[in-house]
Amino acid sequence: MLPQKAMGATTRSPSVKELSSRLDLLSGGHRLCAGCAESVVVRQVLLAAQYPVVVINATSCLEVATTIYPYTAWRVPWLHSLFENAAATASGVEAAYRALQRRGKVSGEKVAFIVFAGDGGTYDIGLQSLSGALERGHRFLYVCLNNEGYMNTGIQRSSATPLGAHTTTTPAGEVIPGKLQWRKDLTGIIAAHHIPYVAQAALTPQPLTDLTTKVRRALEADGPSFINVYAPCNRGWRFEPADTIKISQLAVETCYWPLFEVVDGQWRLTYTPKEKKPVAQWLEAQGRFRHLLKPGHRHVMEEIQKRVDGEWEALLARTGRAPSKKESAPPPSELPGAPEPAQAPKTDAAPRTASPPQAREAVRADRQEAPCSCGATSAGPRWGCLFCGRTCCSRCTYAPEGLAVCSRCALELFGIVQPPALSSA
């Protein structure tokens, strides 16, 4: 019998004392890097599980580092198939379990099927199979170990990588300041499947049992459940291995990675920082954003702050809590040690990119605003140039991959004379 205590159906928060009395189901001796968040997340998830666990693992750091043949770190049944099909594979395991149970070939006890996959395997290549499995209603908990990039292949950008981050496929260069796009709102996409339980979690001393409580709630759900867990990668993000938890906490305190859950469609914050810290504190702690601290890239930091603020306010609205002044961070220019302004003076506070919903409010407001910097006076959406901040309109904006670059920067930086017109969102 597995060394797991029968704990009954409960969604109460397991105490740390209680968790520490259980046997780790992921043994030591695996080859994950020192300071890696993944093993900590996995151990907490397995410790919190109130039922016997069967793990399905996508190809990932976790998979390669824990199962180098002929060794395995797993004390639970474990299956790895491929990169993009963990949810589909779990569908098969779970369906077989139901069929075998119905035919009396396995015992009737409840089993927790838990999928572990990285953000590459979840946000990108595995999104289709995950979406399909959620729609079909398979009963498993899918845990995304979100380290914001393809770390297993050596730090490439994923759609979870934040704006401005340096990765090996979005290197910070003389012209392009790291990744040019904001991250995908995967947790929102999963919530849109209207499955019983969706949450975002992180390894935080405050609140200490947030993740383990969410795991228990997820495993009680009558259907699929999903937890997007923030998993800092010291190799990819460039910070000291000892700072993994600190970075996690900063992400939570800056509201870059808010802790919340969506239970049967009801959005609820599980933690609200007493004081919302400026996102610069989180950025400055990581080498992948180092280039943003240089003069000339300040607008990217501002953009990140704006995005974070927008998402936080949208989350507050979704959770039934109106945004308040107190919770919005001071603008970066007021921060001590903030970098000098970029070369071009800011002419307005227009959002700098065109795509996400929270930016649309601001775009609409701008319709009544002054003429565009190109001279156009017609009403229409306005954007801010990613590089100089200048206001630009659908006539004069070059829009690579959903971002806005004004015609002057497009010419100077990319040699593009006639920017293609940006369709108004």
Partner 1 sequence: MSRVVALTGNQAAAEAMRQIRPEVCAAYPITPSTQVMETFAQFVADGIVDTELITVESEHSAMSACVGAAAAGGRAMTATSSQGLALMHEVLYVTSGLRLPVVMAVATRALSAPINIHGDHSDTMGSRDAGWIQLYAEDGQEVYDSLLQAVRIAEHPQVLLPVMVCFDGFTTSHTIERVQFLEDAEVQAFVGEYRPAHPLLDLKRPVTYGPLVLPDYFTEIKRQQREAMSQAPRVIQEVGKAFGDRFGRFYGLFEASHLDDAQVAILIMGSAAGTARGVVEGLRQEGVKAGLLKLRAFRPFPAEELAAALAHLQAVAVLDRADSPGSPGGPLFTDLRAALDGLQARPAVLNYVYGLGGRDILPEDIRRVYQRLLRVAAGEEGDTAVCEYLTLREDPIRLAPVGGA
Q: Which residues bind partner 1 (CB under 8 A)?
A: 1-2, 52, 54, 56-57, 63-64, 67-70, 72, 74-82, 84-85, 87-100, 102-103, 105-106, 109, 111, 128-129, 131-133, 135-136
The token duo for 265 is: 């469609």
Q: Which lies closer to partner 1 via its Cβ, residue 115 or residue 304?
A: 115
Question: Shortest approach of partner 1 to residue 96 CB, angstroms?
Answer: 4
Environment class of residue 174 by beta-carbon count within 10 Å: exposed (0-12), middle (13-18) or buried (19+)? exposed
Question: Shortest approach of partner 1 to residue 237 CB, angstroms?
Answer: 24
Q: Which lies closer to partner 1 via its Cβ, residue 152 or residue 213?
A: 152
The token duo for 47 is: 């410790």
DSSP 319-372: TT----GGGSPPPGGGSTTPPPPPSSPP-----SBS-SHHHHHHHHHHTTSPPP
Question: Shortest approach of partner 1 to residue 82 CB, angstroms?
Answer: 6
Question: Shortest approach of partner 1 to residue 31 CB, angstroms?
Answer: 9
For residue 259, CA distances in Å to 8, 123, 209, 263, 269 come to 26, 18, 12, 13, 6
Question: Shortest approach of partner 1 to residue 221 CB, angstroms?
Answer: 20
Distance CA 323, CA 58 (A): 38
Q: Which lies closer to partner 1 via its Cβ, residue 152 or residue 244?
A: 152
* Amino acid occupying residue 346: K
Q: Mapped to the 3 state alphabet, what secondary structure does 194-215 carry?
A: CCCEEEEEECCCCCCCHHHHHH
Q: Which lies closer to partner 1 via its Cβ, residue 134 or residue 283?
A: 134
Q: Which lies closer to partner 1 via its Cβ, residue 57 or residue 407?
A: 57
Q: Which lies closer to partner 1 via its Cβ, residue 66 or residue 254?
A: 66
Question: Shortest approach of partner 1 to residue 7 CB, angstroms?
Answer: 15
Distance CA 57, CA 51 (A): 18
